[in-house]
Structure 1
Amino acid sequence: MAKLDPAEIGVLLQPYLAEEPSRSLCERVQRYLALLEVWNKKLNLTSVREAAQMVERHMGESFYMARLLPEFQTMLDLGSGAGFPGLPISLMRPEADVMLAEAHAKKAVFLREAVWMTGSHARVWAHRVEEMERDYRFDVVTLRAVDNMPDALALAMDRLEPGGTLAFFTAQGGETRLPEAQWAHVATHNVPRSGGRILIATLAQ
């Protein structure tokens, strides 16, 4: 995989951010990419192998989701995998308590190392989300690539605070139904440089 310097990473990230990315942020992304390259050789964390695509599709699109989210104190990234979108969101919202939930043991080990390498304040939950205390709920729950979206959305709903926000990616041309609930606000946003969309839905209080 071709290496990218912080300036090149900054150019790739610019369409997804409200302002020019700092060198510090670009260096964190650079460290993440180096770690992902090593781990991807032994654990298939992502099918994307080209560095620029990783920056845009994984980091950039996750940063874009961070822009769309309301203010929050707690967030759960359900089925975090390689850390998307939760890890980038934690870099954009360092004041928030972000939990990356990943039951796959080796992926959870990778996430802990990625958190350390990037200086993120995120925590890793290396168990099934169903094993959390029943009253453990979050202001925001995010999802990206999950095996069974309807089941994952139902699980996400169990972890949302009243008035909380559900945020997830939908594929181009894909149609994902929101779970039945009293929604105060629902909006769909086109992802820059992509055919994908982000759905943001906020529960009524």
Structure 2
Amino acid sequence: MEHDRFCGLLGACVSRETFFQLVGFVQILLKWQEKLNLISKESIPTLWERHVVDSAQLLHFLPQEGKIVDLGSGGGFPGIVLSILRNDDVILLEKDERKATFLRHVSRVLSLKTKVICQRIETVDSLHAPLITSRALTSLNHLMAYMQHLGTDSVQGYFLKGKTTDEEVSEAAQTWIFNVEKFPSRTDQSGVIIKISSLKQRKGEEDDHHSRGQSKRGGW
């Protein structure tokens, strides 16, 4: 991938220094991919378009400032990419110890401002995050529960979603009250970026939600 082509695909210009950090990240990922399944083998030939640019496009929608908590960071998408592009603090939540080790290694080698937490999301204490991101992790209904658990009262969620987005929004609306905005993906004709804000649990769901949480230590 060339710098100019990346900027063209992203629809925004980044510095060459920032681009070379992305190149360094990709090189590390491919090396670790030999022993650790970070991305699907089928997607390796289109890694830049399918994973890097796909993650980077969140920059068009995220506020310029604010701590990001990235859920299920896995191979670094979108968390590592956003940390490189924003040169800002990003908290990466990843329950798999091997993947968490990879994320720490990338962060150390590239001198990124990240913190890696290797725990199940449900067991992490509230991080008072204003911004939460995720890519291909779980249903919108579950993501909203994580937003409420980890975020501020005015938390915003930015999620990369696919063909089932409308169904997930309808399902979530049975439990939550929220504002949703949808934006077309630059990398996938069937993909969308959704922004969730003004999140509140519906009356009657909160007590039920609390009861379910009490029945499972540290869980929802």
Q: 1:41 to 1:122 in 2, by over 3 A?
A: same
Judged with a 3 Å threshold, the aligned counterparts in structure 2 of structure 1 residues 165 and 68 are, in CA distance, closer, same or farther, namely same
Picking from 15, 24, 30, the partner of 1:22 is 15
Q: Deviations over 1:127-160 (max 9, x none)?
A: 1222222x43210111112155543442233212
State the Cα deviation string for residues 42-83 of structure 1 (Å, max 9, x = none).
Answer: 111001211xx2112211121111220124422110111011
Residue aligned with 1:49, SS: helix
The answer for unaligned runs of 5 or more in structure 1 is none
2:5 to 8, 11, 15: 11
Cα distance change, pair 39–120 in 1 and its aligned pair in 2 (3 A): same
Secondary structure in structure 1 of the residue aligned to 2:44: coil
- Alignment CA distance shift 1:165-1:22 (3 Å): same
Contact 1:99 1:124 in 2 (8 A): yes
State how 1:82-93 maps to structure 2 within 5 Å: 82-93=75-86
Q: Who is 1:155 aligned against? A: 146
Q: Give TM-score, length-normalised by structure 2.
A: 0.78
**Contact conserved, 1:79 with 1:101, CA < 8 A, in 2?**
yes
SS in 2 for 1:120: coil
How far the C-alpha of 1:202 sits from its partner, in A, is 1.5
Runs of 4+ in 1 over 6 A off after TM superposition: none
Aligned partner of 1:188 among 175, 182, 191 = 182
Equivalent residue in structure 1 for 2:130, among 134, 139, 145: 139
| Structure with the bigger percentage of helix | 2
Q: Distance in 2 between matches of 1:106 and 1:193?
A: 28
Q: How many pairs align? A: 193
Q: Who wins on radius of gyration, i.e. which is larger?
A: 2
> C-alpha separation between the residues in 2 aligned to 1:187 and 1:77?
19
- Which residue pairs with 2:113 in the alignment? 121
User: RMSD across aligned C-alpha pairs, in angstroms?
Assistant: 2.2
How far did 1:119 drift?
3.0
Call closer, same or farther: CA 1:56–1:118 in 2, change over 3 Å: farther
Tell me if the contact between 2:131 and 2:158 (Cα under 8 Å) persists in the aligned partners.
Answer: yes
**% identity of equivalent residues:** 25
Aligned partner of 1:197 in structure 2 is: 192
Distance 2:19 2:161 in 1: 26
Distance 1:167 1:192, change over 3 A: same
Query: Matched residues in 1 for 2:25 and 2:35: separation?
Result: 16
- Alignment pair present for 1:36 and 2:33: no
Q: 1:45 aligns with which of 17, 35, 38?
A: 38
For residues 82-129 of structure 1, the C-alpha deviation after alignment (integer angstroms, 9 at most, x for no partner) is: 11111111122223x310000100000000111123332111111122
